[in-house]
Structure 1
């Protein structure tokens, strides 16, 4: 095992802006007179995992913003893979940060404002009421693409190129109708057909380039984790086992992951990423693999750090339902490289936060490598050789990631939700 490097000053996971208010964000929208107070947008939590829920929330936040509505957060319910206890979004997210950007009510607050029976705030009754009273757009976050405003393709014809990519042929163009614009309550139920899981960057086509940039900035600054979760992650990266050390990070998704082609063995992963790692530096590995011997091959050549090896105080004080977020932030803060699992929205979230940290001028992680590295090779090498062929290095199993990192979403061959997009952190307001 290598000796720990000298500790650096305390590092903080700060990025973007934390003080901008909804008034500043809505300046562009007010120019087109779209803000309509006292109208609401509510939704039912996505049935997927935590990062899928976050992706749905991002679409809801932008929709509430562009329609001038108050966002109503759903009542508590159990989240997939986070135990049987019912959870609120507020159990994970900084509600004050969200409220600094747009008007927000919790389910309890909405029931009080609407002068409803308090029993309505329970999950089942709340959504029954929303279905009865709300207008429910027949939209799907992956299959549809929203033009805003409806003449966006006329005012910004370069958007037409985004409809011609290999993954766009099946998508339907939608607009916000007069009924949706004027109704008191917009509601998005959770159904397979009309699931609003997707990527906000890929769902909206803005006719105003400045508005598009503001939307990215809104998501960066509005959807942030609770400070007590951030404190736990900062305690981990500032502990002697990681502090001041140029560690890299891997996310290896196993468990119930349905994409069998990504479930490769540790030896294959090591062969693929070894040129990206240095035995002189530790690697932090976040994985849901339960076989303790799975990482033995890595331990033979590297100093491996996992969550259980962090200081006891951090491990004990981190509730089970926060562990994934703490590991997300640790991986995002790695001063070396980050390598994720293809098709994993957990890896995508890490890459996005990593991009925001890298692009925060004067921040503790400014300039870290944000290229997209994966623990797997391209899953269809023959099909991708035309695009990536010149980036294969002789004598190594890894692909230079420059093309994958820079490729815009409309030219990506992966599903839209399967990866992070560079513009989300590069083209925002400081």
Structure 2
């Protein structure tokens, strides 16, 4: 299929138009997050992996990845192979991976300082209260590998787990046709991956969640994947933890007209090239500038390697929206709650200060979203499909758990015991009340209590 700029259908909206709300509803109609057929098939795969373990994983790997191997040992990627890949990739790639990894590690170490520490205190009667923070024992990271290879996803998932103190990090990555990407393996060596397997799809999620004779059972699975991976993660939640259900990638750019229009056009491409269902939106009060961005989109599109995907994405889910002013742009952005939000303005901070809902906010003309994907430092695993209203980027807090600490002193038991007794009897839970009352100096029971 040959795609040209003439095939591109750019949707133009204006918030001052009387039919804007209807157009908005059509544009942002959330895709059904759970396609019934995909969910059912993912369920069948999970059931097979749970019942037959390695045999089912091998069967689905043959079917979906066109990779026929005699046993699971052929699918495990050894530490030696990871180190060999790191040694063999070009020096420029190794330096880029190591630089990106260091920035990602530095950022997540700062997270650990703020959210990863245990704490405790004693109140006036000597009772100790606190919180003990401990890392998960073993996590699984899913690295996409169908349409493209993503060494950056290895860094973004494995490094915060490593910083959090996770003892074992198990990576799964599909290798269609048996091709193992050296950059992905090198990234795993740098990021501290403990074990790696060349498996993907719902079968990989099932192997991590349930465990097989070869693949160890994990406490949590993180990382994005296709619709089958998302459906499988949703189904195994409760057997193990998951980070989030990731939808198609999104970018929203708020522009004041001061950024070169070709920069904004390319930023819109940066997410559109991921997937035909990705969403790229521009909000700007300057109609003439919107025209310039549209012209640059058409000019630049023919030179893009993934122009067919970009064309499908922009035509299906993209939009250039004229707003009344930057304040309205911020209000609309909060309503959309995008995964990536660029404020491409001469002074981005006044706009950003009012923003409340976004996975990540990129400030200023020089801050392209792509820098966040690779090497800025903050995590690129972000909430999508409006879930930034109530969820957060992947971080060290996804790989730790908090345990409450309580040590009640003798004096504290006298006051707390009486309070607990009253409340427990109000709930008609006798044993709760009696357990508290037994610790009182002079055991007091409610009238009528034996």
Does TM, normalized by the shorter one, top 0.5?
A: no
Task: Flag the structure with higher strand content.
Answer: 2
Indicate the structure (1 or 2) with the bigger Cα radius of gyration: 2
Q: Scaled by the length of structure 1, what TM-score is found?
A: 0.25
Q: Scaled by the length of structure 2, what TM-score is found?
A: 0.24
Task: Flag the structure with higher helix content.
Answer: 2
